[in-house]
Chains A and B, each alone.
Chain A
Amino acid sequence: MFEARLVQGNLLKKVVDAVKDLVTDANFDCSSSGFTLQAMDNSHVSLVSLSLRSDGFEHFRCDRNMSMGMSLGNLAKILKCAGNDDIVTMKAADDGDTVTFMFESPKEDRVSDFELKLMDIDSEHLGIPDTDYAATVTLPAAEYQRICRDLSSIGDTVVISATKDGVKFSSSGDVGTANITVRQNTTADKKEEQVSIDLKEPVALTFALRYLNSFAKATPLASHVSLSMARDLPVMVDYQISDMGHLRFYLAPKIED
């Protein structure tokens, strides 16, 4: 059987809210090492990879590897019924066709359980090779969200160029053009405002803002987000989930003909 108890239950809610517009149905894979999900959007343009390590749960038991197919829309509906401070426990039998979510209030005066029907989902699992990225910029998640949102009102795509001077986000469209540059700032007073740039070689890639904007729905999960880029390879947009794992998104750059 599978059983996992998460004290920070709202973390699960944030994860599902971050991916449900990109991916409709997905398989959650459980093993003794943790709870993971890998899924592409319908058009196979972007990929979501979630990893929650078993040691990040208060209690984690998985007797046999299992894959649980869920409608993320329905899962979001159920998780919406959990209180913000509730402890969430997931339970599933090895051969069952449902997963149960139990919500406990912190004061232990309210307990509820919701059963979600599992579904059979054919999904293609992709191997993501370890990559030596040319540049990795780590910036406040809210800043990344703002850049993507602001540039979306100018154009459909963004050119992200990383040089030793900083990382420039440029967009152009009918309205005109926009450039936003973030510079390394590892001495900001507040840790949550720090920006760091790890540059091995300059790189410039063009991406569809629609997807980068969608990834920004993970903003509530982490103070910072990292963008890792290498020439002609998908960007990795990485939100670290403290003490537990990560939620990563991948998007291939647009290629000049």
Chain B
Amino acid sequence: ILPQPRLPSYFTSE
């Protein structure tokens, strides 16, 4: 099973 990356690693925090 491939790991599921979380979204905050792709988008910047505002």
Contact = CB atoms under 8 A, between A and B. Distances in A.
A126 B2 contact: no
Nearest to A125: B14
Contacts of B1: 156
A255 B11 contact: no
Contacts of A251: 7
Interface string B1-14: 11111111111111
Contacts of B11: 47, 126-129, 234, 250
B2 A255 contact: yes
Interface string A40-55: 1001111100000000
Interface string A199-223: 0000000101000000000000000
Given A46-B7, A126-B7, A250-B7, A157 B14 contact: no
A40 B13 CA distance: 13
A9 B8 CA distance: 33
A171 B3 CA distance: 17
Contacts of B5: 45, 252-255
Interface in A12-58: 40, 43-47
Given A126-B11, A127-B14, A129-B12, A254 B6 contact: no
A250 B6 CA distance: 11
Given A126-B7, A234-B7, A257 B2 contact: yes
A127 B6 contact: no
A189 interface: no
Interface in A123-140: 124-129
A124 B13 contact: yes
A108 interface: no
B12 A234 contact: no
6 contacts: A44-B8, A45-B4, A126-B12, A126-B13, A251-B7, A254-B3
Rank and list the top 7 A-B pairs by shortest CB-CB distance, nearest first: A254-B2, A126-B11, A252-B5, A127-B12, A44-B6, A125-B14, A127-B14
